[in-house]
Amino acid sequence: EPEVTQTPSHQVTQMGQEVILRCVPISNHLYFYWYRQILGQKVEFLVSFYNNEISEKSEIFDDQFSVERPDGSNFTLKIRSTKLEDSAMYFCASSEVAGGSEQFFGPGTRLTVL
Amino acid sequence: DAKTTQPPSMDCAEGRAANLPCNHSTISGNEYVYWYRQIHSQGPQYIIHGLKNNETNEMASLIITEDRKSSTLILPHATLRDTAVYYCIVRGYGGSQGNLIFGKGTKLSVKP
């Protein structure tokens, strides 16, 4: 069964450093998403991406964040200058169509900012 | 998107049916009810969705009341592996909006 994969599974970084989280969505999916979950809290939407541009973003997704689809398979989330409060699980998801159908989530990347 | 209300936690005996309720009294006519679950810090997993008719798939059944103000997710024979947080999400279908708004969900504990 096709699945979304994410790398790395765990990333530890120093405050102020840049991190790039990587995702490989399901191959025939066209819509991609990033969510995050701070330990013990709700899953929060960050951004959705379609046709090489952001289609929607939340208030959390400020100028420190960016997303990119550098090639036909990868979808990345970059945090330019990490803060302690960026420590969270980051989940990538993809879906075949927008605004409906199921979203398939990856296993997540645990980001720890020291 | 309409707001949903779910009990914070529920217990279920292994092998029995788990019935998870969700209230969505402000649901509008074009909004669907989606259910996802999250097993211990894994990525959320889609379970089922419906508009007004009852739905069944290999994982679960979804019963939506006639007035659509509430629904119940049924896991017919719960196993220990069904222990998870279950999220009821109401949202429109189609359009450019894709984000899912997760609440706190119901923590289901399946006990032997």
Residues A85-102 pLDDT 10s: 999 999 999 998 776 668
Closest Cα partner for A9 from A26, A25, A23? A23
Best to test chain A binding among B100, B101, B104, B106 (most A CBs inside 10 Å): B100
Q: Tell me whether residues B98 and A4 touch, CB distance under 8 A.
A: no
- Closest chain B C-alpha to A59 CA, distance in angstroms: 13
More confident residue, A73 or A45: A45
- How confident is the model over B24-39, as pLDDT tens digits? 999 988 889 999 999 9
Spell out the SS3 assignment of B65-84. Answer: CCCCCEEEEEECCCCHHHCE
pLDDT of residue B64: 96
DSSP state of A86: G
Nearest residue, CB atoms, A48 vs list B34, B92, B98? B98
B77: burial class by Cβ within 10 Å (0-12, 13-18, 19+)? exposed
- How confident is the model over B48-107, as pLDDT tens digits? 999 998 999 999 999 999 999 999 999 999 999 999 999 999 987 655 556 888 999 999
Contacts 24+ apart (CB under 8 A), B63-70: B64/B33, B68/B24, B68/B27, B68/B33, B69/B23, B69/B24, B69/B25, B69/B27, B70/B21, B70/B22, B70/B23, B70/B24, B70/B25
Angstrom distance (rounded) from CA A79 to CA A98:
25
Nearest residue, CB atoms, A99 vs list B45, B94, B102? B94
DSSP secondary structure of B35-56: EEEE-TTSPPEEEEEESSS-EE
| Closest chain B CA to residue A4 | B43
- Closest chain A C-alpha to B38 CA, distance in angstroms: 10
